[in-house]
Chain A
Amino acid sequence: MTRYLRYLVPLAVFMVLVAFLYRGLSLDPKRVPSPLVGKPMPEFSLPRLKDPAATLSNSDLMGKVSILNIWATWCVSCRAEHEVLLLLAKTGKVDIYGLNYKDERDKAQQWLAQLGDPYVANAFDADGRVGIDWGVYGAPETFITDRQGIIRHKHIGPLTVDALNNEILPLIAELQSTP
Protein backbone atom coordinates (compact mmCIF):
# COMPACT_ATOMS: atom_id res chain seq x y z
CA MET A 1 0.00 0.00 0.00
CA THR A 2 2.69 2.50 1.01
CA ARG A 3 4.47 1.61 -2.22
CA TYR A 4 1.52 3.02 -4.19
CA LEU A 5 1.09 5.95 -1.83
CA ARG A 6 4.23 7.66 -3.09
CA TYR A 7 2.63 7.79 -6.53
CA LEU A 8 -0.96 8.39 -5.44
CA VAL A 9 -0.30 11.33 -3.11
CA PRO A 10 1.46 13.52 -5.69
CA LEU A 11 -1.22 12.53 -8.21
CA ALA A 12 -3.97 13.56 -5.77
CA VAL A 13 -2.22 16.88 -5.06
CA PHE A 14 -1.86 17.43 -8.79
CA MET A 15 -5.55 16.68 -9.38
CA VAL A 16 -6.59 19.18 -6.70
CA LEU A 17 -4.37 21.78 -8.32
CA VAL A 18 -5.88 21.04 -11.73
CA ALA A 19 -9.38 21.34 -10.27
CA PHE A 20 -8.57 24.78 -8.81
CA LEU A 21 -6.93 26.01 -12.00
CA TYR A 22 -9.78 24.65 -14.14
CA ARG A 23 -12.31 26.48 -11.96
CA GLY A 24 -10.20 29.59 -12.33
CA LEU A 25 -10.56 29.47 -16.09
CA SER A 26 -14.29 30.09 -15.86
CA LEU A 27 -14.09 32.78 -13.17
CA ASP A 28 -13.99 36.42 -14.15
CA PRO A 29 -12.04 38.49 -11.60
CA LYS A 30 -13.95 41.55 -12.80
CA ARG A 31 -17.13 40.07 -11.31
CA VAL A 32 -17.02 40.87 -7.63
CA PRO A 33 -20.12 39.54 -5.84
CA SER A 34 -22.17 42.35 -4.33
CA PRO A 35 -22.81 42.36 -0.57
CA LEU A 36 -26.06 44.21 -1.35
CA VAL A 37 -27.84 41.11 -2.69
CA GLY A 38 -30.46 40.07 -0.12
CA LYS A 39 -30.52 43.56 1.44
CA PRO A 40 -33.04 46.40 1.01
CA MET A 41 -32.15 48.66 -1.88
CA PRO A 42 -30.28 51.86 -0.95
CA GLU A 43 -32.43 54.95 -0.68
CA PHE A 44 -32.08 57.58 -3.35
CA SER A 45 -33.92 60.52 -4.82
CA LEU A 46 -32.63 62.03 -8.03
CA PRO A 47 -33.90 64.26 -10.83
CA ARG A 48 -35.23 62.35 -13.82
CA LEU A 49 -33.29 62.32 -17.04
CA LYS A 50 -36.04 63.54 -19.33
CA ASP A 51 -37.75 65.86 -16.86
CA PRO A 52 -35.25 67.38 -14.38
CA ALA A 53 -38.07 68.93 -12.38
CA ALA A 54 -39.47 65.50 -11.47
CA THR A 55 -37.67 63.06 -9.17
CA LEU A 56 -37.20 59.33 -9.26
CA SER A 57 -36.69 57.61 -5.91
CA ASN A 58 -36.35 54.11 -4.55
CA SER A 59 -40.03 54.13 -3.56
CA ASP A 60 -40.93 54.22 -7.28
CA LEU A 61 -39.36 50.77 -7.62
CA MET A 62 -41.23 49.30 -4.64
CA GLY A 63 -44.38 47.19 -4.62
CA LYS A 64 -43.46 45.26 -7.76
CA VAL A 65 -40.56 43.39 -9.26
CA SER A 66 -38.32 46.01 -10.87
CA ILE A 67 -35.07 46.25 -12.74
CA LEU A 68 -32.52 48.97 -12.20
CA ASN A 69 -30.01 49.22 -15.01
CA ILE A 70 -26.88 51.34 -14.59
CA TRP A 71 -25.73 52.82 -17.88
CA ALA A 72 -23.98 55.74 -19.54
CA THR A 73 -23.31 56.96 -23.05
CA TRP A 74 -19.53 56.71 -22.46
CA CYS A 75 -19.92 53.01 -21.73
CA VAL A 76 -19.26 51.03 -24.88
CA SER A 77 -20.78 47.72 -23.77
CA CYS A 78 -23.95 49.57 -22.75
CA ARG A 79 -24.58 50.12 -26.44
CA ALA A 80 -24.35 46.37 -27.08
CA GLU A 81 -26.63 45.75 -24.12
CA HIS A 82 -29.24 48.25 -25.27
CA GLU A 83 -30.76 45.86 -27.81
CA VAL A 84 -31.26 43.28 -25.07
CA LEU A 85 -32.94 45.84 -22.79
CA LEU A 86 -35.31 46.74 -25.63
CA LEU A 87 -36.12 43.04 -26.02
CA LEU A 88 -36.78 42.72 -22.29
CA ALA A 89 -38.99 45.83 -22.31
CA LYS A 90 -40.96 44.39 -25.22
CA THR A 91 -41.91 41.30 -23.18
CA GLY A 92 -43.81 43.69 -20.88
CA LYS A 93 -43.03 41.45 -17.93
CA VAL A 94 -41.10 43.92 -15.81
CA ASP A 95 -40.59 47.65 -15.35
CA ILE A 96 -37.06 48.68 -16.25
CA TYR A 97 -35.66 51.73 -14.50
CA GLY A 98 -32.38 53.30 -15.44
CA LEU A 99 -29.65 55.00 -13.46
CA ASN A 100 -27.84 57.23 -15.90
CA TYR A 101 -24.44 57.15 -14.23
CA LYS A 102 -21.98 60.09 -14.48
CA ASP A 103 -23.25 61.08 -17.86
CA GLU A 104 -24.20 64.23 -19.76
CA ARG A 105 -27.90 64.91 -19.96
CA ASP A 106 -27.97 65.95 -23.67
CA LYS A 107 -26.01 62.93 -24.79
CA ALA A 108 -28.13 60.52 -22.76
CA GLN A 109 -31.38 61.98 -24.08
CA GLN A 110 -30.03 61.80 -27.61
CA TRP A 111 -29.02 58.15 -27.06
CA LEU A 112 -32.55 57.20 -26.03
CA ALA A 113 -34.08 59.10 -28.93
CA GLN A 114 -31.78 57.37 -31.39
CA LEU A 115 -31.63 53.81 -30.06
CA GLY A 116 -35.08 53.52 -28.48
CA ASP A 117 -36.13 53.83 -24.85
CA PRO A 118 -36.67 50.62 -22.86
CA TYR A 119 -36.93 52.50 -19.53
CA VAL A 120 -40.01 53.45 -17.55
CA ALA A 121 -37.91 56.29 -16.16
CA ASN A 122 -34.28 57.24 -15.65
CA ALA A 123 -32.59 58.81 -12.64
CA PHE A 124 -29.81 61.21 -13.54
CA ASP A 125 -26.81 60.54 -11.27
CA ALA A 126 -24.42 63.25 -12.40
CA ASP A 127 -21.76 62.89 -9.68
CA GLY A 128 -22.14 59.12 -9.18
CA ARG A 129 -22.97 59.36 -5.46
CA VAL A 130 -26.03 57.14 -5.80
CA GLY A 131 -23.90 54.78 -7.88
CA ILE A 132 -21.51 54.42 -4.91
CA ASP A 133 -24.45 53.59 -2.61
CA TRP A 134 -25.42 50.83 -5.01
CA GLY A 135 -21.83 49.54 -5.13
CA VAL A 136 -21.44 50.39 -8.81
CA TYR A 137 -17.90 49.99 -10.07
CA GLY A 138 -18.42 49.82 -13.79
CA ALA A 139 -21.32 50.22 -16.15
CA PRO A 140 -23.34 48.34 -17.20
CA GLU A 141 -24.71 46.71 -14.08
CA THR A 142 -28.25 45.45 -13.56
CA PHE A 143 -30.14 44.88 -10.31
CA ILE A 144 -33.39 42.98 -9.82
CA THR A 145 -35.48 44.04 -6.82
CA ASP A 146 -38.57 42.30 -5.43
CA ARG A 147 -41.91 43.68 -4.19
CA GLN A 148 -40.50 44.47 -0.75
CA GLY A 149 -37.65 46.40 -2.32
CA ILE A 150 -35.04 43.74 -1.51
CA ILE A 151 -32.22 43.36 -4.05
CA ARG A 152 -32.44 39.79 -5.36
CA HIS A 153 -29.81 39.73 -8.05
CA LYS A 154 -26.99 41.72 -9.55
CA HIS A 155 -25.79 41.14 -13.08
CA ILE A 156 -22.36 42.61 -13.74
CA GLY A 157 -21.49 43.48 -17.31
CA PRO A 158 -23.76 43.69 -20.33
CA LEU A 159 -26.97 41.67 -20.39
CA THR A 160 -27.09 39.09 -23.15
CA VAL A 161 -30.02 37.22 -24.66
CA ASP A 162 -28.59 34.13 -23.00
CA ALA A 163 -28.53 35.78 -19.56
CA LEU A 164 -32.05 37.06 -20.17
CA ASN A 165 -33.44 33.59 -20.88
CA ASN A 166 -31.49 31.61 -18.31
CA GLU A 167 -31.06 34.05 -15.47
CA ILE A 168 -33.18 37.21 -15.58
CA LEU A 169 -36.59 36.07 -16.88
CA PRO A 170 -36.79 32.91 -14.70
CA LEU A 171 -35.95 34.95 -11.59
CA ILE A 172 -38.52 37.62 -12.46
CA ALA A 173 -41.19 34.94 -12.92
CA GLU A 174 -40.23 33.37 -9.60
CA LEU A 175 -40.30 36.70 -7.74
CA GLN A 176 -43.62 37.68 -9.29
CA SER A 177 -45.25 34.39 -8.27
CA THR A 178 -44.39 34.98 -4.60
CA PRO A 179 -46.57 37.60 -2.90
Chain B
Amino acid sequence: MMKRLVIVLALCLLPVAVTVQAGVTLEAFKFETKAEEQHFKDLIEELRCLVCQNQSLADSDAELAHDLRAEVYDMIQAGKSDDEIVEFLVARYGDFVLYNPPVKPANYLIWFGPFVLLLVAGFLLLRAIRRQKRTAVTDITPEQRAKLDAVLGNTPPQQDKQQ
Protein backbone atom coordinates (compact mmCIF):
# COMPACT_ATOMS: atom_id res chain seq x y z
CA MET B 1 0.00 0.00 0.00
CA MET B 2 2.71 2.45 1.11
CA LYS B 3 4.91 1.43 -1.78
CA ARG B 4 2.13 2.03 -4.26
CA LEU B 5 1.51 5.47 -2.82
CA VAL B 6 5.18 6.39 -3.20
CA ILE B 7 5.12 5.30 -6.86
CA VAL B 8 1.99 7.34 -7.56
CA LEU B 9 3.53 10.40 -5.90
CA ALA B 10 6.74 9.96 -7.88
CA LEU B 11 4.76 9.77 -11.11
CA CYS B 12 2.87 12.93 -10.19
CA LEU B 13 6.14 14.76 -9.66
CA LEU B 14 7.64 13.55 -12.94
CA PRO B 15 6.19 16.37 -15.07
CA VAL B 16 7.56 18.90 -12.59
CA ALA B 17 11.02 17.38 -12.91
CA VAL B 18 10.76 17.45 -16.70
CA THR B 19 9.69 21.10 -16.86
CA VAL B 20 12.44 22.14 -14.48
CA GLN B 21 14.90 20.42 -16.76
CA ALA B 22 13.46 22.09 -19.86
CA GLY B 23 13.82 25.50 -18.17
CA VAL B 24 17.56 24.97 -17.83
CA THR B 25 18.09 25.72 -21.51
CA LEU B 26 17.46 29.41 -20.83
CA GLU B 27 20.32 29.76 -18.39
CA ALA B 28 22.91 29.71 -21.11
CA PHE B 29 22.00 33.35 -21.76
CA LYS B 30 23.58 36.04 -19.62
CA PHE B 31 21.73 39.23 -18.80
CA GLU B 32 22.91 42.37 -17.04
CA THR B 33 19.65 42.95 -15.20
CA LYS B 34 16.60 40.97 -14.14
CA ALA B 35 14.43 43.27 -16.25
CA GLU B 36 16.36 42.42 -19.40
CA GLU B 37 15.98 38.72 -18.69
CA GLN B 38 12.23 39.17 -18.15
CA HIS B 39 12.00 41.12 -21.40
CA PHE B 40 13.71 38.26 -23.26
CA LYS B 41 11.42 35.69 -21.64
CA ASP B 42 8.28 37.68 -22.45
CA LEU B 43 9.35 38.02 -26.06
CA ILE B 44 10.05 34.32 -26.66
CA GLU B 45 6.76 33.43 -24.92
CA GLU B 46 4.95 35.28 -27.71
CA LEU B 47 6.74 33.45 -30.52
CA ARG B 48 5.75 30.05 -31.79
CA CYS B 49 8.18 27.23 -32.47
CA LEU B 50 7.55 26.02 -36.01
CA VAL B 51 8.70 22.51 -35.25
CA CYS B 52 6.41 21.68 -32.32
CA GLN B 53 3.79 24.25 -33.36
CA ASN B 54 1.89 24.15 -30.08
CA GLN B 55 4.82 25.32 -28.03
CA SER B 56 6.39 28.74 -27.80
CA LEU B 57 10.08 29.36 -28.40
CA ALA B 58 10.43 29.55 -24.63
CA ASP B 59 8.97 26.09 -24.07
CA SER B 60 10.35 24.15 -26.99
CA ASP B 61 13.39 21.96 -26.83
CA ALA B 62 13.58 21.58 -30.61
CA GLU B 63 16.89 22.30 -32.29
CA LEU B 64 15.38 25.17 -34.26
CA ALA B 65 13.97 26.71 -31.07
CA HIS B 66 17.48 26.69 -29.55
CA ASP B 67 18.83 28.46 -32.63
CA LEU B 68 16.02 31.00 -32.73
CA ARG B 69 16.36 31.77 -29.02
CA ALA B 70 20.05 32.43 -29.64
CA GLU B 71 19.12 34.63 -32.61
CA VAL B 72 16.60 36.62 -30.54
CA TYR B 73 19.15 36.96 -27.71
CA ASP B 74 21.80 38.27 -30.13
CA MET B 75 19.35 40.77 -31.58
CA ILE B 76 18.38 42.04 -28.12
CA GLN B 77 22.06 42.40 -27.22
CA ALA B 78 22.58 44.30 -30.49
CA GLY B 79 19.96 46.80 -29.31
CA LYS B 80 17.20 45.82 -31.73
CA SER B 81 13.65 46.73 -30.77
CA ASP B 82 10.92 44.13 -30.24
CA ASP B 83 9.26 45.22 -33.48
CA GLU B 84 12.48 44.71 -35.42
CA ILE B 85 12.97 41.25 -33.93
CA VAL B 86 9.38 40.20 -34.65
CA GLU B 87 9.69 41.60 -38.18
CA PHE B 88 12.87 39.56 -38.70
CA LEU B 89 11.07 36.34 -37.78
CA VAL B 90 7.84 37.13 -39.66
CA ALA B 91 9.85 37.91 -42.83
CA ARG B 92 11.30 34.41 -42.67
CA TYR B 93 8.55 32.26 -41.19
CA GLY B 94 5.34 34.24 -41.74
CA ASP B 95 2.60 35.33 -39.32
CA PHE B 96 2.48 31.77 -38.05
CA VAL B 97 5.37 32.50 -35.65
CA LEU B 98 3.19 34.99 -33.79
CA TYR B 99 0.91 33.76 -31.04
CA ASN B 100 -0.73 37.15 -31.33
CA PRO B 101 -1.44 37.49 -35.05
CA PRO B 102 -1.88 41.00 -36.55
CA VAL B 103 -5.38 42.24 -37.38
CA LYS B 104 -5.37 42.21 -41.19
CA PRO B 105 -7.88 40.91 -43.77
CA ALA B 106 -6.32 37.44 -44.00
CA ASN B 107 -6.73 37.07 -40.23
CA TYR B 108 -10.19 38.64 -39.86
CA LEU B 109 -11.86 35.26 -39.51
CA ILE B 110 -9.67 34.25 -36.60
CA TRP B 111 -10.10 37.65 -34.88
CA PHE B 112 -13.79 38.34 -35.45
CA GLY B 113 -15.22 34.88 -36.19
CA PRO B 114 -15.91 34.02 -32.53
CA PHE B 115 -17.69 37.36 -31.93
CA VAL B 116 -19.83 36.90 -35.03
CA LEU B 117 -20.78 33.42 -33.83
CA LEU B 118 -21.55 34.81 -30.38
CA LEU B 119 -23.83 37.48 -31.89
CA VAL B 120 -25.64 34.92 -34.02
CA ALA B 121 -26.04 32.56 -31.06
CA GLY B 122 -27.29 35.43 -28.86
CA PHE B 123 -29.80 36.48 -31.50
CA LEU B 124 -31.13 32.93 -31.88
CA LEU B 125 -31.37 32.49 -28.12
CA LEU B 126 -33.24 35.77 -27.71
CA ARG B 127 -35.66 34.83 -30.47
CA ALA B 128 -36.27 31.39 -28.95
CA ILE B 129 -36.95 32.90 -25.53
CA ARG B 130 -39.39 35.46 -26.96
CA ARG B 131 -41.25 32.82 -28.91
CA GLN B 132 -41.53 30.60 -25.87
CA LYS B 133 -42.97 33.44 -23.79
CA ARG B 134 -45.57 34.15 -26.43
CA THR B 135 -46.69 30.54 -26.84
CA ALA B 136 -46.64 29.60 -23.15
CA VAL B 137 -49.81 31.54 -22.41
CA THR B 138 -51.84 30.54 -25.44
CA ASP B 139 -51.22 26.87 -26.02
CA ILE B 140 -53.23 25.67 -23.01
CA THR B 141 -57.02 25.50 -23.09
CA PRO B 142 -59.14 26.52 -20.05
CA GLU B 143 -60.13 22.87 -19.56
CA GLN B 144 -56.48 21.82 -19.52
CA ARG B 145 -55.69 24.59 -17.07
CA ALA B 146 -58.49 23.50 -14.74
CA LYS B 147 -57.21 19.95 -14.89
CA LEU B 148 -53.68 21.09 -14.22
CA ASP B 149 -54.78 23.14 -11.23
CA ALA B 150 -56.73 20.18 -9.89
CA VAL B 151 -53.65 17.98 -10.12
CA LEU B 152 -51.42 20.58 -8.50
CA GLY B 153 -54.02 21.42 -5.90
CA ASN B 154 -53.96 25.13 -6.73
CA THR B 155 -56.67 27.71 -6.70
CA PRO B 156 -55.00 29.74 -9.40
CA PRO B 157 -57.44 32.19 -11.03
CA GLN B 158 -56.97 34.69 -8.21
CA GLN B 159 -53.23 34.07 -8.09
CA ASP B 160 -52.91 34.69 -11.79
CA LYS B 161 -54.60 38.08 -11.46
CA GLN B 162 -52.30 39.07 -8.64
CA GLN B 163 -49.31 38.42 -10.82
Contact = CB atoms under 8 A, between A and B. Distances in A.
Contacts of A51: none
Contacts of A138: 50-51, 64
Contacts of A128: 63-64, 67
Contacts of A25: none
B51 A35 contact: no
A167 interface: no
B67 A35 contact: no
Determine chain A's interface SS by DSSP, over half rule.
Answer: loop
Interface stretch (A26-34, A53-61, A81-89, A115-123): A26-34
A102 interface: yes
A36 interface: yes
B96 interface: yes
A138 B53 CA distance: 12
Given A132-B92, A135-B92, A135-B93, A29 B68 contact: no
A165 to B, nearest CB: 28
Interface in A146-167: none
Given A35-B93, A35-B94, A132 B68 contact: yes
A135 B63 CA distance: 14
Given A128-B67, A132-B71, A32 B94 contact: yes
A102 B70 CA distance: 15
The bracket for how many chain A residues form the interface is 10 to 19
Contacts, number: 37
B91 interface: yes
Interface string B53-91: 100000000011001100100000000000000000011
B127 to A, nearest CB: 11
Nearest to A13: B120
A137 B93 contact: yes
A137 B51 contact: yes
Contacts of B64: 128, 137-138
A32 B51 contact: no
Contact of A133 (B51, B53, B63, B92): B92
Nearest to A133: B92
B92 A32 contact: no
Given A128-B63, A128-B64, A137-B50, 11 more contacts: A32-B50, A32-B93, A32-B94, A32-B96, A33-B94, A35-B90, A35-B94, A128-B67, A132-B68, A135-B94, A138-B51
16 contacts: A29-B53, A30-B53, A34-B93, A35-B90, A35-B91, A35-B93, A36-B91, A127-B67, A128-B63, A132-B71, A134-B92, A135-B93, A137-B50, A137-B51, A137-B64, A137-B93
Q: Return the 6 tightest CB-CB contacts between A and B, nearest first.
A: A137-B50, A135-B92, A35-B94, A32-B96, A135-B93, A128-B67
